[in-house]
Chain A
Amino acid sequence: MLIDANNLALTLSGQSILADVNLHMKKGDVYGLLGPNGAGKSTTIALLLGLYQADRGELQLFNQQSPDLAAIRRRIGVMPEFAGFYEWMNARDYLIWYAGFYGGMQTTPDTLLQRVGLSTVGNKPIKQFSRGMTQRLALERALVHGPELLILDEPTNGLDPRGRREIHDLLIDLAEQEHVGILLCTHLLDDVERLCSRIGIIDGGRSVFEDSLEDLLQDTGKPRYRLHMTSVPEGHPLPPEIRLINKEGSWWNFEIDLPTAMDIGRVWINLLEHGWSFDEVGVKKNTLEDHYLSLTGVSAATLREKVA
């Protein structure tokens, strides 16, 4: 296992930041770490990197209980959310300098720069780089020593669609060909769906879900229907078996508890009797976003308030 974290808890300045976090990752996994803002994702990453010490719980990195931090860090590459550099240096010099902490580069600076599409700007001062170029350089900084585990916080921030695709391809290649474990912290669910084999969701400092992405998406849960509304009654009272999930334009998404599939007709009649009218019905396929929203505190209740 690359990461084996169980029941991690952390208090900072008297405030409980993490209460019960679990994270399990093996070689070659691409693990998506999701959660609302302030859930504790970045704190979890900081804890994994040894920047904090957990108050409770167990943490093993590379199967070591009490690792030598320096030795562990040699095997990890980190791309923080806000990529900062020494702007008077150029990209080539910066990578050579940074690789010095790891005993030097495994390949030439030009090869590394080429991998992220920066080979033509290696001699340019970093202060002249665009946001996207800085992001690429930050990714290459994380890879400069050939790590076994890559921890990325919003790696495609500031990249155009082509750039994002290139980074995706690189990460997939790293995971599949070189069996690098990748821990990806991002808000972009598209990225997670494309890249990740496992996901973990944190909410309020606790792990609320951890499993393979495939298993999550196959869990259809309760049936969901989309109705194209033509009129909505004032106060829109709903029958008890119907729960409003969210609203997308004039399409309203409902979750419905049905004893049998045949009861769906009775549900529509019930809605019509309550003053709802609609001209189209569809089945709502559960996306990652739907699961995420249902698992985290951004719940139907919150959305119901928003649509009312």
Chain B
Amino acid sequence: MNPVTLIAQKERSALLQNQRGLVWLLAYAGILSAFALLLISNRELSLLDNAQVVYMMAGTVTAAGALIAVIMGADAYAGERERGTLVPLLTAPVSTGELLMGKALGLVSAWGIMYLLAFPYLWSVGAGGQNLGQAIFYLGLFGTPVVLGFGYLAMALSARSGSVMSSLLTSLIVLLFSASPLLVGPGLRNSTIGKTLDAVNPFSGALNTFDAVIIDSDPFTGQLARLFLVLIWLGLMFAFARISARRPVFR
């Protein structure tokens, strides 16, 4: 087995075989369930049409994915260092690139599980409505680079700082900043600063695509600019991680 696969296998077993790893999966399912139950118990939310609800669910899945990516990424190097397991990895015949790819594959596995687990939820709120199939497709197409990008960002900070706390906090701040246009009102979003942030923010890019495709039934060609944005984000964060992981802090 090659080193990348070995490391990815270890990351997967940490997620699924470790008790603590399964708890995060339960928490994620809890968030989606809480949202779904809110939809049927709250009068105003229950009036939303299926497309609107599917859009909101897709946004929630992406946000949860980015959060998990940041947590896993912050632990990738600094967590191993703090537990004393990084040096055995660095002194094994594994290149720094292979180590990074193995960690990234582990992250992709986590996102894959979250993505698959979202299917029954999306079906339950969106079946009988419009664009459910498109929602699932675009969630994968846009959600994956956004989530992976945040994961790479956190990994880069983890390798550079050697501290889980510091890399996690910094990554969370970046994530919150990305999500901020969605938390502020439409008035601020329509301002010059709001529009500029929207144009360069990968998180906004994904959500605006979900809006366009699921609610407005816009075609694929209309999403190309935003697809380009999220792919640029992924590329930049990968490069940052690659450079940072060449000499991770290990002592």
> Which residues does A use to contact B, with CB under 8 Å?
42, 46, 49, 51, 69-71, 73-74, 76, 78, 80, 82-86, 88-89, 97-98, 100-102, 141
Residue in B1, B80, B91 whose CB lies within 8 Å of A78: B91
Q: Indicate whether B3 reaches chain A with its CB closer than 8 angstroms.
A: yes
**Given known contacts A97-B6, A97-B10, A101-B92, is B1 in contact with A84 (CB within 8 Å)?**
no
Q: Are B93 and A71 in contact (CB under 8 A)?
A: yes
Contact B85 A73 (CB under 8 A): no
Which of A42, A69, A98 is within 8 Å of B88, CB to CB?
A98
Known: A49-B90, A70-B94. 14 other contacts (CB 8 A): A42-B251, A51-B250, A70-B95, A71-B93, A74-B93, A76-B91, A78-B87, A84-B83, A84-B87, A85-B85, A89-B13, A100-B6, A101-B94, A102-B92
B78 shortest CB reach to chain A, Å: 13
User: What chain A residues lie within 8 Å of B14 (beta carbons)?
Assistant: 86, 88
> In this complex, what residue of B is CB-closest to A85?
B85
| CB closest residue in chain A, given B20 | A88
Return A142 CB to nearest CB of chain B, in Å. 9
A97 to B102, CA, bound (A): 14
B84 CB contact (under 8 Å) in A46, A82, A97: A82
B34-61 at interface with A (beta carbon < 8 Å): none
Asked whether, in the complex, the Cβ of A46 is within 8 Å of the Cβ of B88, the reply is no
The answer on a CB contact under 8 Å between B93 and A70 is: yes
* B18 in contact (CB, < 8 A): yes
A51 vs B95: C-alpha distance when bound (angstroms): 11
Chain A residue at smallest Cβ distance from B94: A101
Q: Which residues of B contact A83 (CB under 8 A)?
A: 84
9 smallest beta-carbon distances between A and B, as pairs: A84-B84, A84-B85, A70-B93, A101-B92, A82-B84, A88-B18, A73-B93, A78-B91, A80-B87
- Closest-CB distance, A91 to chain B (whole angstroms): 14
- A101/B3 in contact, CB under 8 A: yes
**Known contacts A46-B251, A100-B6, A101-B3: A86-B85 contact under CB 8 Å:** yes
A73-B13 contact in complex given A42-B251, A100-B1, C-beta closer than 8 Å:
no
| B1 closest partner in A (C-beta) | A100
* Residue numbers in A under 8 Å from B1 (CB-CB): 100
Rounded to whole angstroms, the CA-CA distance of A74 and B13 in the bound complex is 25
- Residue B91 contacts which of A51, A86, A89 (CB distance < 8 angstroms)? A51
Q: Across the interface, name the chain B residue whose C-beta is closest to A89.
A: B13
- CB neighbors of A among B72-118 (8 A): 80, 83-88, 90-95
Whole-angstrom CA separation of A144 from B95 in the bound complex? 19
Knowing A80-B84, A83-B84, A85-B85 are in contact, say whether A49-B91 is a contact too (CB < 8 A): yes
**Neighbouring A residues of B9 by C-beta, 8 Å:** 97
Q: A84, A85, A141: which has the most chain B beta carbons within 10 Å?
A: A84
Residue of B nearest to A68 (CB): B93
Shortest Cβ gap from B181 to chain A (Å): 38
Q: Show 6 A/B contacts (Cβ-Cβ < 8 Å), sorted by A.
A: A70-B93, A78-B88, A85-B84, A97-B6, A97-B9, A97-B10
Complex Cα distance, B1 from A38, in Å, reads 39
Chain B residue nearest to A141 in the complex (CB): B88
Instruction: Using known A-B contacts A86-B10, A88-B13, determine if residue A98 contacts B87 with beta carbons closer than 8 Å.
Output: no
A88 with B93: CB separation less than 8 A? no
Interchain nearest-CB distance for B229 vs A (Å): 37
Chain A residues with CB under 8 A of B88: 78, 80, 84, 98, 141
Q: Is B217 an interface residue (CB 8 A)?
A: no
Q: Give bound CA distance, A82 to B80, whole Å.
A: 12
Q: Which residues of B contact A89 (CB under 8 A)?
A: 13
Q: Which residues of B contact A84 (CB under 8 A)?
A: 80, 83-88
Instruction: Kindly report which residue of chain A lies nearest to residue B3, judged by CB atoms.
Output: A101
Note all chain B residues with C-beta closer than 8 A to A49.
90-91
User: Does B17 sit within 8 A of A, measured CB to CB?
Assistant: yes
Q: Which residues of A contact B90 (CB under 8 A)?
A: 49, 51
CA distance A46 to B90 in the complex (A): 10
Q: Cα distance A98–B94 when bound, in Å?
A: 11
Q: Residue A73 contacts which of B6, B87, B92, B250 (CB distance < 8 angstroms)?
A: B92
In the complex, chain A residues whose CB is within 8 Å of the CB of B10:
86, 97
Binary contact track B10-44/A, C-beta < 8 Å → 1, others 0 = 10011001110000000000000000000000000
- Shortest Cβ distance from A9 into chain B, in angstroms? 18
CB contact between B93 and one of A46, A82, A86, A101 (< 8 Å): that residue: A101
Which residues of chain B have C-beta atoms less than 8 A from A102's C-beta?
Answer: 92-93
**In the assembly, what is the distance between CA of A73 and CA of B17, in Å?**
30
